[in-house]
A and B are shown apart, each in its own frame.
Chain A
Amino acid sequence: MKFLQGLGFLLESIFAHVGMYANTLARIVRAMATPPWYAKLALQQAEEVGVQSLPVVMMTALFTGMVLALQSYIGFHRFGAESMVATVVSLSMLRELGPVLVGLMVAGRVGASFAAELGTMRVSEQIDALWTLSTDPFRYLIMPRIVAAILMMPLLVALADAIGIFGGYVISVHFLDQTPAVYIENSTMFLELHDLFSGIVKAAVFGGIIGLVGCSEGFHCSGGAQGVGKATTRAVVVSAMSILIFDYILTAWMFQ
Chain B
Amino acid sequence: MSSPKIRVCGVKKSFNSKRVLDGVNLEVMPGESLVVIGLSGAGKSVLMKCILGLLRPDGGQILVDGEDWCTLSRKEQLERMRRIGMVFQGSALFDSLPVWKNVAFSLLQRGEKPSVARTRQPRAGTGRPARYGRSHAGRAFRRYDQEGGTGARHLP
Name A's B-contacting residues (CB within 8 A). 117, 121, 124-126, 128-129, 131-136
- Kindly provide the distance from the CB of B13 to the nearest chain A CB, expressed in whole angstroms: 15
* B11 in contact (CB, < 8 A): no
| Interface pair A126/B94, CB less than 8 Å apart | yes
Known: A131-B52, A133-B109, A134-B109. A125 touches B90 (CB 8 A): yes
| Interface pair B89/A134, CB less than 8 Å apart | no
What residue of chain B has the Cβ atom nearest to residue A34's Cβ? B75
Residues of chain B with a CB closer than 8 A to A136's CB:
74-75, 78
| Interface pair B74/A132, CB less than 8 Å apart | no
- Kindly provide the distance from the CB of A129 to the nearest chain B CB, expressed in whole angstroms: 4
- Kindly provide the distance from the CB of A23 to the nearest chain B CB, expressed in whole angstroms: 14
Interface mask (B91-114 → A, CB under 8 Å = 1, otherwise 0): 011111000000001100100000
| Interface pair A128/B95, CB less than 8 Å apart | no
Residues of chain B with a CB closer than 8 A to A121's CB:
94
Selected from A126, A131, A134, A135, the residue in CB contact (under 8 A) with B95 is A126
What residue of chain B has the Cβ atom nearest to residue A140's Cβ? B109
With A128-B49, A132-B54 known, 9 other A-B pairs at CB within 8 A are: A125-B88, A125-B90, A128-B54, A129-B88, A129-B92, A129-B93, A131-B53, A131-B81, A133-B105
Name B's A-contacting residues (CB within 8 A). 49, 52-54, 74-75, 78-79, 81-82, 84-86, 88-90, 92-96, 105-106, 109
Residues of chain A with a CB closer than 8 A to B109's CB:
133-135
Known: A133-B105, A133-B109, A135-B109. A128 touches B78 (CB 8 A): no
Report how far A129 CA is from B49 CA in the complex, Å: 11
| Interface pair A132/B90, CB less than 8 Å apart | no
| Interface pair B92/A133, CB less than 8 Å apart | no
- Kindly provide the distance from the CB of B121 to the nearest chain A CB, expressed in whole angstroms: 13
| Interface pair B84/A132, CB less than 8 Å apart | yes
Of A117, A121, A129, chain B has the most CB atoms within 10 Å of the CB of A129
Residues of chain B with a CB closer than 8 A to A131's CB:
52-54, 78, 81
Report how far A133 CA is from B78 CA in the complex, Å: 8
Residues of chain A with a CB closer than 8 A to B74's CB:
136
Nearest 8 interchain pairs by C-beta = A129-B92, A125-B92, A132-B86, A134-B81, A125-B88, A134-B82, A126-B92, A134-B78
Residues of chain A with a CB closer than 8 A to B89's CB:
125
What residue of chain B has the Cβ atom nearest to residue A138's Cβ? B74
Residues of chain B with a CB closer than 8 A to A133's CB:
81, 105-106, 109
What residue of chain A has the Cβ atom nearest to residue B86's Cβ? A132
Report how far A157 CA is from B58 CA in the complex, Å: 47
| Interface pair A132/B81, CB less than 8 Å apart | yes
Residues of chain A with a CB closer than 8 A to B81's CB:
131-134
Report how far A126 CA is from B53 CA in the complex, Å: 15
- Kindly provide the distance from the CB of B85 to the nearest chain A CB, expressed in whole angstroms: 8
7 A-B residue pairs with CB within 8 Å: A125-B90, A131-B53, A131-B54, A132-B52, A132-B54, A132-B84, A133-B109
